[in-house]
Amino acid sequence: LLRSSQPLTGPNRRRCREDEKLLGTILDEGERGFIIDTRSAQAAKQARMGGGGTEPKSSYPQWRRLHRALERGRPLQESFARLVEACSEPSPSMERWLGRLESSRWLGHVKAALSTACLAAQCLDREGSKVLVHGGEGTDTTLLVTALAQLILEPSCRTLQGFQELLEREWIEAGHPFHLRCARSASSHARGKQEAPLFLLFLDCVWQLSRQFPLSLEFGERLLLTLFDNAYASAYGTFLCNSEKERSLCKVKESTHSLWAWLNQPEERHKYLNPLYSPNPLVIWPSVEPQSIQLWQGLFLRWIRPSQHLDEAWEEIQRLVGGI
């Protein structure tokens, strides 16, 4: 599984021998690979006008390109804001609730993200093919897809340790601009142009996986909520800045503490574990039918829905499992 940003084909259909060679060496003789472009075919074509574009078939003959449009940027932020608004309104009628849920389109984005990640995973696992994922910049929907695909495919990513490493590798080091994306969250009116909840979308998808495979992730919802909180506001330096370069310039490692270090302390760690966890060596294929995708109540209704009964149930589960 590879990731990159878009090729700078431009309106004049520029070529780059080195890039072609690089992609060529990845594949064996006669082998075919897949490029998953997280933009629609039309959007990708239009990107040429801005100097970007796609890999033309003629220059990259062994690669087959698939387009899966995933929302990002402003529209995704709007979707998030609308959902949060719908959740916080004490709407008296059921229709209005479902209507608002539907018009926020958030669940549709979750479905699309999971589908695309599954597609990538399928290429790798079922077809045995190599896959290159990119969107425009390679810092948003690209990372969403590659990180989710690994969770689906790779059991070690589903351990607490492995998941932290996945985040470190596929989101932080890969350069997701946390500082720009996670500045204000949903209810702020000062909407920065760069604000977008890609990381939250990722966490939501992870939650969907945990709901469909409740025994297969070593961590629980609590970890996901903690990560969400820390991406926006944190006592730790893990999610600071927009890239490794910036973190280095700001001397983050020298002047802040790591979230992982704190989480992994024995007295903290156990709170984030899933008591139902049972290592599952297989690939976990989620269903992306609408019935299978649910609103992440633990996050979106976190401060609205009383959690007493569910907390009690969770305690009961821990008591039952801890009893052995």
Partner 1 sequence: VENVRLLDRLSSRRAVVGTLYLTATHVIFVENGSETRKETWVLHSQISSIEKQATTATGCPLLIRCKNFQVIQLVIPQERDCHDVYISLIRLARPVKYEELYCFSFNPKLDKEEREQGWKLVDLHEEYIRMGVPNSYWQISDVNRDYGVCDSYPTEVYVPKSATAHIIVGSSKFRSRRRFPALSYYCKGNNASICRSSQPLSGFSARCLEDEQMLQAIRKANPGSDFIYVVDTRPKLNAMANRAAGKGYENEDNYSNIKFQFIGIENIHVMRNSLQKMLEVCELKSPSMSDFLWGLENSGWLKHIKAIMDAGIFIAKAVAEEGVSVLVHCSDGWDRTAQVCSVASLLLDPYYRTMKGFMVLIEKDWVSFGHKFNHRYGNLDGDPKEISPVIDQFIECVWQLMEQLPCAFEFNERFLIHIQHHIYSCQFGNFLCNSQKERRELKIKERTYSLWAHLWKNRADYLNPLYRADHSQTQGTLHPQIAPCNFLYKFWSGMYNRFEKGLHPRQSVTDYLMAVKEETQQLEEELEVLQERLANLQKSQSGNNKIKSKQQDRSKQFGLYTSNNSLANTPQEYSNDLKSFPSRSPSQGDEDSALILTQDNLKSSDPDLSANSDQESGVEDLSCRSPSGGGCLPSEDSGKDSDEAVFLAG
Taking CB under 8 A as the rule, does residue 258 contact partner 1? no
Cβ distance to partner 1 smaller for residue 183 or 276: 276
Instruction: Please pick, from the candidates 18, 92, 189, 266, the single residue that binds partner 1 as defined by CB under 8 A.
Output: 92
Of 89, 213, 204, the C-alpha closest to 158 is 213
Rule CB under 8 A: say whether 69 interacts with partner 1.
no
Does 38 contact partner 1 by CB under 8 A?
no
Shortest Å, Cβ 148 to partner 1: 12
Closest separation between CB of residue 186 and partner 1, Å?
Answer: 16
Q: Does 216 bind partner 1 (CB under 8 A)?
A: yes
Nearer Cβ to partner 1 (90/266): 90
Query: For partner 1, which is the closer residue by CB, 58 or 308?
Result: 308
Q: Which is nearer to partner 1, 31 or 89 (CB)?
A: 89
Residue 280 touching partner 1 (CB under 8 A): yes
301 binds partner 1 (CB under 8 A): yes
Distance CA 272, CA 315 (A): 13
**Per rule CB under 8 A, is residue 266 in the interface with partner 1?**
no
Which of 85, 173, 229, 316: binder of partner 1 (CB under 8 A)? Answer: 316
Q: Angle, to 10 degrees, between the axis of helix 221-232 and the axis of helix 160-167? A: 30
Tokens of 41: 């075919």
Question: Applying CB under 8 A, what is the total number of residues that bind partner 1?
Answer: 66
Binding flag, residue 93, partner 1 (CB under 8 A): yes
Please list, in sequence order, all residues whose beta carbon lies within 8 angstroms of the beta carbon of residue 66, skipping any fewer than 6 positions away: 34, 35, 36, 37, 119
- Cβ at position 23, least distance to partner 1 in Å: 20
Handedness of CA 8, 199, 297, 323 (dihedral sign): positive
- Residue 108 found at the interface with partner 1 (CB under 8 A): yes
Three-state secondary structure string covering 246-269: HHHHCCHHHHCCCHHHHHCCHHHH
Q: Does 249 bind partner 1 (CB under 8 A)?
A: no
Site string for partner 1, 125-144 (x = CB under 8 A): -xx-----------------
Q: Rounded to 5 degrees, what are φ and ψ at 282?
A: -95, 170
To partner 1, the closest distance from the beta carbon of 191 in angstroms equals 24
Q: Give me the helix-helix angle, 160-167 and 141-153, nearest 10°.
A: 160
Helix (H) or strand (E) holding 37: strand 33-37
What Rg, from alpha-carbon coordinates, does the chain have? 21
Position 321 contacts partner 1 (CB under 8 A): yes
Q: What are phi and psi of 244, to 5 degrees?
A: -60, -35
Task: Spell out the long-range contacts of 237-243 with Cβ–Cβ below 8 A and sequence spacing 24 or more.
Answer: 238/172, 239/172, 239/178, 239/182, 240/178, 240/179, 241/178, 241/179, 242/175, 242/176, 242/177, 242/178, 242/179, 242/180, 243/175, 243/177
- Kindly state whether residue 292 participates in binding partner 1, applying the rule CB under 8 A: yes
The CA distances from residue 209 to 31, 189, 212, 269, in Å, are: 32, 32, 5, 21
Select 67 or 184, whichever has its Cβ closest to partner 1: 67
Min CB(319)–partner 1 separation in Å? 9
Q: Which residues bind partner 1 (CB under 8 A)?
A: 66, 87, 89-95, 97-99, 101-102, 105, 107-108, 110-111, 115, 118-119, 121-123, 126-127, 211-216, 276, 278-285, 287-295, 297, 301, 304-306, 309-310, 312-313, 316-317, 320-321, 323-324
